[in-house]
Structure 1
Amino acid sequence: MTMLNKPYVAAPEGFQPSEYDISGVRTVVYQSGRAPGQGGAQDARPLVFLHGAGTFTGFDFLADLAAERRVIVPYHPGFGESGDDPDIDDINDYVLHYLELFDAMGLAEIDLVGFSFGGWIAAELGVSRPSLFARIVLVAPSGLPVAEPPAADVMTIPAADLPGYLAHDTSILENKLPKAHDVDFLTLGYRERVAAARVVWDRPMGNRKLGRRLGRLSQPVLLVWGKEDRIRPVEHGDAWLDRLSDARLEVLPNAGHLVLDEAPGAIQSIAAFLR
């Protein structure tokens, strides 16, 4: 049962929601940018963005990308406005969900961008169906276990300390967090943490089998990282590079895990890569 079906924040101007029933799970998708038929090479290759394990920061940073192409932002089951699916307890359940969604939307060739937990899903999607994705961007992705330095286990970080793990400059969160006790905000956060926990609780570092499967990705991959990331340290980018055949790493200074919110240059680098 879905506890609340509303987002923390409004979508950027121009993004419109639509709904899909994917194996009985209500899946809400926001779309914007150039629609098919408006001309240009991007008509046949939309950009899909997969969000992280919390949606309270929104996706305002996608507005610039939406100005030049079709951008698709689905909410994972158990997150945002999508319905719950307590049967999802493995990352491959999300992979199959999205392959079904892409089929339902008629998407045949995609540029895929995934952030954090969404980056893990994106990597597993690419490994599962390499031919579906023209280019892939992984932004501070989880999913690949790296021994040193270890990733932070976000499920064990006290709520009061979490802003300092998410952002190098925590002032970027001032307009994204409630000023006082907010029951709806806390309920949404709990719901999303439960959904993420079903997948990561007994495997907080990721999928130990993913590393040897990343060789299936032959398309260009861009890795984007904040230099001050305390959740997935920037050194993890090198571990991904070692396992990908055609990849490069873009490191943004003075930015933490929320690099897309903190560093305008991150979106600029992604836009240039996807062109």
Structure 2
Amino acid sequence: MDGPVNKKIVDMSGFDRSEYVVSGVRTAVYSIGSGRPVIYLHGGGTFPGFDFVREWARDRRVIVPYHPGFGESDDDPRIDDVSDYIFHYIDLFNQMGLDEVDIVAHSLGAWIAAEYASVQAPRIGRLVLVAPNGVVIPEFPNPDSFKIPKEQLHEYLTADPSVALRYFPDGHDIDFLTLGFRELTAFSRVGWEYPQGNPKLRQRIHLITCPTLLLWGQEDRFFPVGGAKTWQELLPKSELRILPKTGHLVLGENPDAPGIVHEFLTR
């Protein structure tokens, strides 16, 4: 059966849905549009939905897979390190016949994408990392997401907390709570020991040789913008865009962000 979804926000109308079995794990994949494929790898929570990817579907085939343990994909308790997601996506992309793609990724998804790109560089044309996790930056540590009270979560997600509240249901919603607990459990398997990221990523991130856009919110409370310069210095072909009055949910919060990504992908 499909996992619970946030019925208030997640609108997948117009998308095609497919399923792939990857190492025994049923993986749900949505796609929309046509043209050169671009993969979107979501962050540590799927409740904000993916409406912003429609901007890219004007001239691209946008592919949105749910990570194992998230959304409509099955759980996989064997995944206890981000590297496990790398091999999951190598297998999935092979099954889908995707030899070369562009990747846009947010937060946890950006961590996965950076790790993937460091070992699969020839398969990536362009890379967009939005509010990325993954590189340990002691000078700008991210807060322990496991200790943020749920009633304060919206204050961390967007510069204007009222904007984040639109992603939350009114009152008690068992499906929403179940989804959140399940996805937090999946994230904890890879993030509990290394909540700041992978200490070894810094030494190999230079292997990412494709053009890369770093997109950050000026008021991101999860991954402070002070760390953006470190990412830019570590990536040989990167450019950095910092958006004012924007928090962690960059693509869903700032109306200019999807267009900035589209311009970079089609440049």
Band the TM-score falls in, shorter-chain normalisation? over 0.9
CA displacement 1:159-178 (0-9 Å, x = unmatched): 11111111111222333211
The aligned residue for residue 210 of structure 2 is: 219
Distance in structure 2 (CA, Å) of the matches to 1:250 and 1:90: 29
1:82 aligns with 2:80: no
Contact 2:127 2:212 in 1 (8 A): yes
Distance in structure 1 (CA, Å) of the matches to 2:110 and 2:264: 17
Distance in structure 1 (CA, Å) of the matches to 2:167 and 2:112: 25
The aligned residue for residue 187 of structure 1 is: 178
Cα RMSD for the two superposed structures: 1.1
Determine helix, strand or coil for the equivalent of 2:167. coil
Distance in structure 1 (CA, Å) of the matches to 2:5 and 2:39: 18
From 89, 97, 104, the equivalent of 1:106 is 97
Contact 1:224 1:251 in 2 (8 A): yes
Distance in structure 1 (CA, Å) of the matches to 2:252 and 2:161: 11
TM superposition shift of 1:78: 0.2
From 170, 191, 206, the equivalent of 2:197 is 206
1:27 aligns with 2:18: no
Contact 1:12 1:63 in 2 (8 A): no
2:17 maps to amino acid: P
Task: Between 145-154 and 69-78, report the one with greater CA deviation.
Answer: 145-154
CA displacement 1:30-83 (0-9 Å, x = unmatched): 00011xxxxxxxx3x300000000001101111111122100000000000000
Contact 1:172 1:261 in 2 (8 A): no
2:25 maps to amino acid: V
From 237, 261, 265, the equivalent of 2:256 is 265
The aligned residue for residue 130 of structure 2 is: 139
The aligned residue for residue 73 of structure 1 is: 64
Q: List aligned pairs for 1:43-192, cutoff 5 A.
A: 43=35, 45-192=36-183
Contact 2:154 2:165 in 1 (8 A): no
Distance in structure 2 (CA, Å) of the matches to 1:152 and 1:125: 25
Contact 2:129 2:213 in 1 (8 A): yes
2:151 maps to amino acid: A
Distance in structure 1 (CA, Å) of the matches to 2:221 and 2:154: 11
Distance in structure 2 (CA, Å) of the matches to 1:136 and 1:117: 15
Percent identity over the alignment is: 48
Distance in structure 2 (CA, Å) of the matches to 1:134 and 1:243: 18
Distance in structure 2 (CA, Å) of the matches to 1:126 and 1:97: 14
Contact 2:157 2:164 in 1 (8 A): no
Task: Between 211-220 and 73-82, report the one with greater CA deviation.
Answer: 211-220
1:64 maps to amino acid: E
CA displacement 1:128-163 (0-9 Å, x = unmatched): 110000010000010111111211121111111111
Determine helix, strand or coil for the equivalent of 1:264. coil
Distance in structure 1 (CA, Å) of the matches to 2:200 and 2:83: 12
2:221 maps to amino acid: R
TM superposition shift of 1:257: 0.3
The aligned residue for residue 7 of structure 1 is: 5
- TM-score of the superposition, structure 2-length normalised? 0.96
Contact 2:32 2:63 in 1 (8 A): yes
TM superposition shift of 1:240: 0.5
Contact 2:41 2:104 in 1 (8 A): yes
2:193 maps to amino acid: D
Distance in structure 2 (CA, Å) of the matches to 1:63 and 1:13: 11
The aligned residue for residue 37 of structure 1 is: none
The aligned residue for residue 243 of structure 1 is: 234
Structure 2 residue runs without a partner (length 5+): none
1:175 maps to amino acid: R
